Amino acid sequence: MNPASTTKKLRLLLIEDNTGDARLLREHLGDAAGTRFDLDVVGTLAAGLARLETESFDLVLLDMSLPDSAGLDTFKNVHNHSPEVPIIVMSGLDDEAVAVQTVHEGAQDYLVKADLDHRLLVRSIRYAIERKHTEEALARERDLFHTLMDNIPDRIYFKDADSRFFRINRAVAAQFQLGHPSEAVGRTDSDFFTAEHAENALADERWVIQQGKPLLGKIERETLPDGEVTWALTSKLPLKDKQGRIVGVFGVSRDITALKKAEAELQAERNLLRSLIDNLPDYIFIKDTACRYLLDNIAHRRLVGAGTPQEVEGKTAGDLFPPVVAEQLTRDDLAVMSTGHALLNKEELVTDGCGNRRWHVTTKVPLRDQEGHIVGLVGIGRDITERKNSEEQLQRTNIDLAQHRSELQHALDDLRLAHEQLKTAQDQLIQAEKMQSIGRLAAGVAHEVKNPLSVLRMGVDYFQRNLPATDPNVAPVLTDMSTAIDRANSIIMGLLDFSVPYALDSQNENLSAIVRQSLNLVRYAFNESETPIRLVAELNDDVPPIWADRNKMMQVFVNLLTNAIHAMPAGGALTVRTYARTLQPEEVNRDPGSRLARQFRAGDTVAVADVMDSGSGIPEEMLSRVFDPFFTTKPTGKGTGLGLAVTRKIVELHHGTIEVRNRKEGGVIVTTMFKV
Amino acid sequence: MENTQEKRRILIIDDEAGFTRMVKLNLEKAGPYEVREENRALHAVAAAREFKPDLILLDVIMPAMDGGDVAAKIKNDPHLRGTPIVFLTATVTVREAGKAGLNAGGDLFLAKPISVDALIEVIHKHARPPEPPAEKAGPA
């Protein structure tokens, strides 16, 4: 019951132009016990509508015959104006039929003025208000239901006990492609779905009806006749009448096709990602903040020697790697997670599950949740052992190459040296060949010349001994002839000396002693010299002994000393010195083809004898020819031209060297070196 | 001429006839020497047997037969054994001569050309003293 009826005054608006009727009505209302009415009266429809416009009334009492309106229109005007306000139509006997019609149109009641009494009036008012309230509530419920049914995207349907639709909402109608929900009435699922789906649905509904229990949250795959597949989340419940008997089934079903599709897509994406992760040859893993593996891929499992994800999940590096490797890995993990900085392309040497040492390059990035908190890390690694090996190989190859290059260079240098030596040897061979020819020639010539010389010698001697010197010219002529014979003979002797191969009669000798003895032999030359020659001898007796043929060596120095004396016709200084020294690499290597380099090596100790004069020196262009046989700078008759050639031959037989140079201060220095 | 008995008999064997003549002239002019020349090596031994020299001057290099062979024959001859031989050589040095096996008997060598003084000195030193006439006249 409306509480207003007992506690609050009801405000009534009477629209009545007959003041008598109005008074009468007021009187009826006034008699009412327990109910207080507050009655306002207006005389025209316009005045009534104006009041309704501005004020709130619980009920309108409406006379249909008003000055500005009459009949059914009067009711319609008021009802349309204020449909929420209950209306009781007051009619005369004459228009009761119209009054009845107003009730159809929405009036709560009609009262015939003539029959009016207090009780009837009050009851009618009360009922009218009550009924109006009920109607309003119902209408609201109905509106809500319709709103629900018409607007909710979920599909709602009601079926009878035979699973025939008797009510569906717009969403179902749309799914069934019906113009209006009412078109589904009396039809079944088999009219809209494939037989298979319809049968399943029917079975479910039978179950619901028989068991009286709801079927909740079932995910159904629906196939429409056009082949379109949709997915639905369906709940079916038993439909009961007021007595609680099950008369059918109703259901709500939500189209989750999009969801399903999204889910499927998500799944597909996840599968794609998964297969990507699994099939990538790189090692991929995810760890939590405690550095425990949450997930990894096949490559990573193969690395750690695990067969299934479970063998890795929850483990730490310490469980899978040797301690030293694990420690480093964990240190890196913690650094990434504590700093939030990714570790990029770190190259590390690890030992895999099989104990092989491999090079890895690893990148670790922090894994964050939606709030941005670090919840772990993602790692991706790759085996670069082969690349590393090839790098090292390359490096080694480069080093080898460089080495080979330098070896090649050395070989080339050696080759060059060998070539030089070969050339020199060839030159020597040619020279030797020449010498041999000269030797043979000399031997032949010596024999042929010496015999006539012997005759001449004896002949001149005969004359010198027996011819009376009647002519003063005879004696000097014979002397000249004798000298000429001696000269010719000494040339022949030199030739023989030079061309005859020597065998040395060697023993340990002191170079300084040999030089000293040679100086004694040439003493006469000092005395012969018309101008004074000063002798400077710096002979070191501590020079280590050399292996030499004393007589041949003396021949060498007598030759050199004689040459030096002959080089200073105007006098000067003859310096002779002996000493020992160690050969330096640069002087030996300076000229690989030199005689020095052929005879000695760097570091050898040599005994040296220098013979120096202070004469005018030898023109540079002639220096290279001084050892040639028959080359001489002396005036004809003073030298055979064989002295230095023989000298060099003797020096070389001793595996020594001899060098002739001009001195800066003038004169010539001849340096001989012998291995000690 | 002086007493031939006291003359030293010198046989010179050399293919160079000018040289043997010069030696003969010089020696016979210089002192009590009787010099016999032989220019053919092949006749050297026969000449020596016939002449019985106190010293033989022997050239080393000769056509047909060299001095070494001649010397060997003379040394193997019972009548000539012990006759001093002085080799005269135009080409070979002492060492060369040694190589040729010529110094086996400690023989003397002189290199050509040689002065008359040097030759006389050598002969004087090495020639056998003259044999007594009785022995010399006796059968060989």
Q: What is the pLDDT of residue A16?
A: 92
CA B69 to chain centre: 14
Convert the pLDDT of each residue in A128-181 to its tens digit.
999 888 988 998 998 998 888 888 888 999 999 999 999 999 988 988 888 898
**Counting runs of H as helices and runs of E as strands, what totals does chain A give?**
21, 22
pLDDT band at B106 (very low <50, low <70, confident <90, very high): low
- Of A32 and A590, the one with more pLDDT: A590
d(CA A124, CA A87): 10
| Residue numbers of B between 99 and 118 with CB closer than 8 Å to A | 112-117
Taking residues A102-117, report their average pLDDT: 86
Q: What is the pLDDT of residue B1?
A: 44
Burial pattern B66-84, b for ≥16 Cβ within 10 A else e, equals bbbebbeebeeeeebeebb
Q: Which residue of B has its CA nearest to A493?
A: B91
Which of A244-258, A296-310, A407-421, A539-553 is predicted with the least confidence, judged by mean pLDDT? A407-421
Question: What average pLDDT is seen over chain B?
Answer: 80
Whether residue A111 has pLDDT greater than 50: yes
Q: How confident is the model at residue A353 (pLDDT cuts 50, 70, 90)?
A: low
The answer to whether the CB atoms of B116 and A485 lie below 8 A apart is no
User: Which residue spans within A5-146 are E strands per DSSP?
Assistant: 10-15, 37-42, 59-63, 87-91, 109-112
Name the least confident of A21-25, A199-203, B2-6. Answer: B2-6
Using pLDDT thresholds of 50, 70 and 90, give the confidence band for residue A390. Answer: confident
Residue B8 has pLDDT above 60, yes or no: yes
Per-residue exposure over A290-309, b if at least 16 CB sit within 10 Å of its own CB, e if not: ebbbbbbbbbbbebbebeeb
**pLDDT on residue B138:** 42
- Which residues in chain A are contacts of B30 at CB distance < 8 A? 465
Contacts with A452 from chain B: Cβ below 8 Å: 18
Q: Report residue A435's pLDDT band, with 50, 70 and 90 as the boundaries.
A: low
The whole-angstrom distance between B28's CA and the closest CA on chain A is: 11
Selection from A276-290, A437-451, A613-627 with the highest mean pLDDT = A276-290
Inform me whether the pLDDT recorded for A273 exceeds 60.
yes
pTM (two decimals): 0.38
User: Residues with Cβ < 8 Å from B40, sequence gap 6 or more?
Assistant: B15, B64
Q: Tell me: the pLDDT tens digits for A575-624? A: 999 999 988 887 776 665 566 667 787 788 899 999 999 988 888 888 87
Distance from A463 to chain B by nearest Cα, in Å?
A: 9
Distances (CA, A) of A73 to A68, A70, A83, A99, A108: 11, 6, 14, 11, 16
Between CA B11 and CA B19, with CA B15 as vertex, the angle to 5 degrees is: 70
Inter-residue contact A42 to A15 (CB < 8 Å): yes
Q: CB–CB of A458 and B117 under 8 A?
A: no
pLDDT tens for each residue of A555-582: 889 889 988 888 888 888 999 999 999 8
Residue carrying the six token digits 């070896």: A407
Instruction: Find the mean pLDDT for residues B112-116.
Output: 87
Give kind and range of the element (H or E) at residue A232: strand A229-240
DSSP assignment string, A282-297: SEEEEEETT--EEEE-
Of the pLDDT bands very low, low, confident and very high (cuts 50, 70, 90), residue A88 is very high
What is the C-alpha separation between A155 and A253, in angstroms, rounded? 5
In which order are the strands placed within the sheet that holds A572-582? Answer: A533-539, A572-582, A605-612, A668-675, A657-662
Written as six digits, the tokens of B43 are: 């006749």
Structure confidence at residue A643 (pLDDT) = 74
pLDDT of residue A653: 82
pLDDT on residue A635: 59
Instruction: With CA atoms as reference, report the closest residue to A465 among A475, A473, A455.
Output: A475
Distance CA A203, CA A300 (A): 50
- Nearest alpha carbon to residue B27 among B111, B117, B129, B136: B117
Residues B57-78, mean pLDDT to the nearest whole number: 86
* Cα distances (Å, whole numbers) of residue A33 to A38, A88, A126, A131: 14, 21, 13, 21
What is the pLDDT at residue A156?
92
Closest chain A residue to the Cα of B16, Cα to Cα: A451
Query: Do the Cβ atoms of B91 and A455 come within 8 Å?
Result: no
Q: What tens digit of pLDDT does each residue of A462-514 get?
A: 988 887 778 888 888 888 888 888 888 877 777 766 665 556 778 899 999 99
ipTM: 0.79
Pairing of strands A283-288, A293-296: antiparallel
A289-337: per-residue pLDDT in tens? 999 999 898 888 888 888 888 999 999 988 888 888 889 889 999 999 9
Report CB contact under 8 Å: B26, A455.
no
Show residues of chain A in contact with B95, CB under 8 Å.
503
Contacts of B19 in chain A (CB under 8 A): 451, 454-455, 458
Of A114-123, A300-309, A442-451, the range with the lowest mean pLDDT is A442-451
> Helices H, strands E: what count in chain B?
6, 5
**Residue A476 backbone class (left: φ over 0; alpha: ψ -120 to 50; beta: rest):** alpha
Judged by average pLDDT, the poorest of A394-408, A417-431, B14-28, B122-136 is: B122-136
Q: Does A452 touch chain B (CB under 8 A)?
A: yes
**pLDDT of B48 above 90:** yes
**Predicted confidence (pLDDT) at residue A637 exceeds the cutoff of 60:** no
Cα–Cα–Cα angle for B117, A520, A523, nearest 5°?
75
Classify residue A66 by its DSSP letter. Answer: B
pLDDT in tens, A35-75: 678 889 999 999 999 999 999 999 999 998 899 988 889 99
Q: What percent of chain A has pLDDT over 90?
A: 29
Place of tokens 């009218």: A128
pLDDT on residue A314: 92
Q: Which of B18, B91, B116 sits opposite A450 (nearest CB)?
A: B91
3-state secondary structure of A532: coil
CB atoms B113 and A489 under 8 Å: yes
Asked whether the beta carbons of A588 and A542 are under 8 A apart, the reply is no
Token code pair at residue A489: 């003979």
Q: What is the pLDDT of residue B93?
A: 53
A454 interaction partners in chain B (CB closer than 8 Å): 16, 19, 22, 88, 90, 112-114
Task: Please tell me the total number of residues recorded for chain B in this structure.
Answer: 140
User: Chain A contacts of B18, Cβ < 8 Å?
Assistant: 452, 455
pLDDT at A525: 72
Q: What is the predicted pLDDT for the residue at A410?
A: 84
Residue A89, strand partner residues: A62, A110
Q: What is the mean pLDDT of chain A?
A: 85
d(CA A382, CA A283): 6
Residue A34 pLDDT: 62
- In A241-319, which ranges are E strands? 246-255, 283-288, 293-296
Percent of chain A beyond pLDDT 70? Answer: 90
- pLDDT value at position A418? 80
- Nearest chain A Cα to B114, which residue? A454
Average pLDDT over residues B4-28: 88
Q: Find the mean pLDDT for residues A344-366.
A: 84
Question: Minimal Cα distance from B112: which residue of A?
Answer: A454
Answer whether the bond into residue B113 is a cis peptide, omega within 30°.
yes
Indicate the pLDDT class of residue A364, thresholds 50, 70 and 90. Answer: very high
Contact with chain B for residue A442, Cβ under 8 A? no
B42 touching A (Cβ < 8 Å): no
Nearest to B26 among A458, A489, A496 (CB): A458
Q: What average pLDDT score do residues A262-268 get? A: 87
Per-residue model confidence as pLDDT tens digits over B14-25: 998 999 999 999
Asked if A421 contacts A598 with a C-beta cutoff of 8 angstroms, the reply is yes
User: Which residues of A are less than 8 Å from B117 in CB distance?
Assistant: 461
**Beta-carbon contacts of residue A59 (< 8 Å; ≥ 6 apart):** A10, A11, A12, A13, A85, A86, A87, A88, A125, A128, A129, A132
